[in-house]
Amino acid sequence: MADASPITDISTDGDTDEKNQRFDRNQSSALVASDSSDRSKDKLDQKSLRRLAQNREAARKSRLRKKAYVQQLESSRLKLTQLEQELQRARQQGIFISSSGDQAHSMSGNGAMAFDVEYARWLDDHNRQISELRAAVNSHAGDAELRIIVDNVLAHYDEIFKLKSNAAKADVFHLLSGMWKTPAERCFLWLGGFRSSEVLKLLMNQLEPLTEQQLLSVTNLQQSSQQAEDALSQGMEALQQSLAETLSSGSPGSSGSSGNVANYMGQMAMAMGKLGTLEGFIRQADNLRQQTLQQLHRILTTHQSARALLAIHDYFSRLRALSSLWLARPRE
């Protein structure tokens, strides 16, 4: 018994040391794990901070873009209000162009302004009709209901051609310049409107599937439209060249003699006569556009005609939206 006590004490001391070593190792592992966890948390915190900063910057830019867009819309609204006020004064003075197209009155300097207001109203009505047409197509409306809406849209196109015909008598240069259109639309302007051949090209892929006869008819319509456009373009070039030659053929002398003045006045009268043919070019170009829409309607089925009208509207709507974005872009 006396010999067993030391042995027991030694064993107990050894076990205690081993336990202490295991505790130290566990504690060290815990510290390492804790340190690794802290570093991971730091990395996550940094990523979260960067993500939050990016989100805040994106939200700030979005607010700026929205603010610029709202300001641009407000500016457009104020401009339209001003035009409507000017139109009201023009009506009171008896220099307003009739929107029905039955007869045109002298519009003096307010002709362009009156047309711009009438075109804005026409565009609003057109957008409402297109919304109705889109709803009918999406709801799979029957042919009878869809045909009525399509006919109304085509009849509404006839109204803008009448408006332009009357406006050309007051200010043909305003129509040719395209200032009543948005900047992006003016890039594709041809004789005061769109090129029928280009619109038909856009529709070829939108209207599939077409029968062989329909495809042939649309192709022939596109080619005939292109030929008519080329002829009108050549006529415009010839007019411009002739007008330039008339204006450069002579000028009044420095002495201001009656003969030179008479020659000058005759020259201006000749130039004015040639300018009068511009109205005819506008009218022919719009007739081509009108006939293209009507012939396309005859070639296609009712549902295809509806899709074609929607595609044409969407194309020009995107051009107008592009113009709004361009005007509202941030400037350095």
In-domain check, residue 239: yes
- Between these two residues, 76 and 330, which has the higher pLDDT value? 330
Least confident segment among 34-38, 101-105, 292-296: 101-105
Q: Which pLDDT does position 320 carry in this prediction? A: 93
Q: Is 112 a residue whose pLDDT tops 90?
A: no
Torsion of CA 214, 219, 222, 225, to 10 degrees: -90
- Percent of the chain's residues with pLDDT above 70: 72
Query: Does any domain span residue 40?
Result: no
Based on the number of CB atoms within 10 Å of its own CB, is 160 exposed (0-12), middle (13-18) or buried (19 or more)?
A: buried
Token output for 328: 């509202």
Q: What is the mean pLDDT of residues 269-274?
A: 88
Residue 14: its pLDDT value, please?
52
User: Is the distance from CB of 169 to CB of 276 less than 8 angstroms?
Assistant: no
Residue 222 lies in a domain: yes
Q: Give the Å distances, CA to CA, from 234 to 66, 125, 133, 241, 245.
A: 45, 35, 38, 11, 17
The residue ranking higher by pLDDT, 151 or 83, is 151
* DSSP 8-state symbol, 329: S
Average pLDDT, rounded, for the chain: 81
Q: Which residue has the higher pLDDT, 21 or 256?
A: 21
Out of 147-161, 211-225, 265-279, which region has the weakest mean confidence (pLDDT)? 265-279
The number of domains in the chain is: 1
pLDDT of res. 18: 57
pLDDT-above-90 percentage for the chain: 51
Please give the residue that has the higher pLDDT: either 111 or 8.
Answer: 111
Say how far apart CA 197 and CA 220 lie, in whole Å: 10
Q: What is the pLDDT of residue 262?
A: 77
pLDDT per position as a tens digit, 168-199:
988 999 999 999 999 999 999 999 999 999 99
Question: What are the tokens at 219?
Answer: 């192709």
**Is the pLDDT higher at 36 or at 332?**
332
**What domain range is 223 assigned to?**
111-248+265-328
Residues 6+ apart with CB under 8 A from 263: 250, 252
Q: Chain-centre distance of CA 252, in angstroms?
A: 48
Query: Which pTM was predicted?
Result: 0.66
Cα 150 from chain centre: 22
Check residues 251 and 185 and name the one with the higher pLDDT: 185
Whole-number pLDDT of residue 5:
45
Q: What is the pLDDT of residue 146?
A: 96
What pLDDT shows up at residue 66? 77
What confidence score (pLDDT) does residue 22 get? 61
Token pair, residue 247, equals: 């204006």
Tell me if 47 is assigned to some domain: no
Q: What is the pLDDT of residue 58?
A: 84
What does the radius of gyration of the chain's CA atoms come to, in whole angstroms? Answer: 38
Place 47 in a pLDDT band, splitting at 50, 70 and 90. confident
In a domain, 2, yes or no: no
The answer as to whether 170 is a domain residue is yes
Task: Give 282-319 pLDDT, tens digit per residue.
Answer: 999 999 999 999 999 999 999 999 999 999 999 999 99
Q: Residue 93 to residues 116, 117, 121, 169: CA-CA distances in angstroms?
A: 18, 17, 21, 19
- Residue 37: inside a domain, yes or no? no
Q: Is residue 1 part of a domain?
A: no
Between these two residues, 331 and 140, which has the higher pLDDT value? 140
